Amino acid sequence: MLDTGQWFACYLTNGAHFLFYQSFLVVFALIFVTAPTALAFGFGAAAASRSPILPIRLLGKLYTAMVRGVPDIAFFLFFVIVLDQLIEYSVHTIRCPDWSEPIYQGANFLVCDAARVPPGNSPQWVHETYNFFLAVFTYAIVFGAFCGNVLFGAMRAVPRAQLETAEAYGMSRRQTFWRVLVPQMWIYALPGLSNVWMILIKATPLLFLLGIEDIVYWARELGGSRTSAYQYPHPDWRFWYFLGLLVFYLCFTRVSEIALSRLTRRLSRGQATMAGEDLRKAAA
């Protein structure tokens, strides 16, 4: 029994497992960088969709409609390639104007060496960080579209009387937007945004599809059966590793739910909603 305990103590603290534990940080980093970025994209899209200027309005609506209408996985796989090629193509046209060979050769996308992003000679962590940020940007675009739709709805849910009052006080369009509409819309946006947050958490294993060594990659890698070529041979343990991931995600979403319900309470204070009214009565 002691031997088994010791074996596991050593096994679970070997180098490969530390990489596994580190990959949880990758997931957290992804979520905490993506969430604000996506919110900013969404806010931009919602504000654009309300713009009195037709082209801006169309652009905002096109973005939300298009990205929301494409399956996430298809968009992830497609957009990361497009983004990478777009960056390399732009650098290529600037740095190698006399390049004569075609860039698309069958299935290959070949730019000159100077246009490789990141440069082929850079260390491995630069390549990994670059891939990670491509992924973050793609996530932000996808979830920005969902946020945009939620925020657009929330902006329309703010009682019209509030805006009319603001106008009656002589506020300009801009002032009404920033001082009356935006502070009040969050409570209407929160249920939708909390949904998007949950979906974002659950979408993080898609990182694996983009070739980033995330928790799913390591769970599969470490859980696979191992011969004595390894220091710690064991049979197929993928079941246990994936069960661990399941528990991790359940805990993570549960903590998020608790935090979000507290936030809802906080934002309801002083609002012209039923929850806000209840809070007012309870205090009085």
Partner 1 sequence: MKTLVISATVLALSAGAVLADAHSVVRMGTEGAYPPYNFINDSGEVDGFERALGDELCLRAELNCQWVTNEWDSIIPNLTSGNYDTIIAGMSITDERDQVIDFTQNYIPPASSLFLALSEDADLAGGVIAAQTNTIQAGYIAETGATLIEFATPDETIAAVRNGEADAVFADGDYLLPVANEDADLMIVGEPVQLGGGVGMGVRETDNELRDAFDVAIQSMKDDGTLNALITEWFGPEAATF
Taking the complex as a whole, how short is the minimal distance between the CB of residue 232 and partner 1, in angstroms? 6
Selected from 40, 224, 269, 270, the binder of partner 1 by CB under 8 A is 224
231 binds partner 1, rule: CB under 8 A: yes
Quick one: which of 15, 69, 71, 170 contacts partner 1 (CB under 8 A)? 15
* Candidate ranges 49-57, 116-124, 158-166, 186-194; the one touching partner 1 (CB under 8 A): 116-124
Give the dihedral sign, CA 205/211/214/217: positive
| Residue 124 binding partner 1, by CB under 8 A | yes
Which of these ranges, 48-56, 160-168, 227-235, 249-257, lies near partner 1 under the rule CB under 8 A? 227-235
Residue 201 Cβ, how far from partner 1 at the closest point, in Å?
25
Does 233 help bind partner 1 (rule: CB under 8 A)? yes
Residue 232 touching partner 1 (CB under 8 A): yes
* Least distance CB 165 / partner 1 (angstroms): 59
Q: Is 77 in the site for partner 1 (CB under 8 A)?
A: no
Confirm or reject binding of residue 113 to partner 1 (CB under 8 A): yes
Among 211, 246, 255, 277, binds partner 1 (CB under 8 A): 211
**CA-wise closest residue to 139 among 38, 277, 243:** 38
Asked if 234 touches partner 1 (CB under 8 A), the answer is no
> According to the binding rule CB under 8 A, does residue 87 interact with partner 1?
no
Tell which one of 55, 69, 97, 108 touches partner 1 (CB under 8 A).
108
- Range 8-46 burial, b when 16+ CB lie within 10 A, else e: eeeeeeeeeeeebeebeebbeebbebbbebbbebbbbbb
Stretch of 35-43, 179-187, 188-196, 231-239 contacting partner 1, by CB under 8 A: 231-239
Where do contacts with partner 1 occur on this chain (CB under 8 A)?
Answer: 14-16, 18-19, 107-110, 113, 116, 120-124, 127, 211, 220-221, 224-233, 236, 238
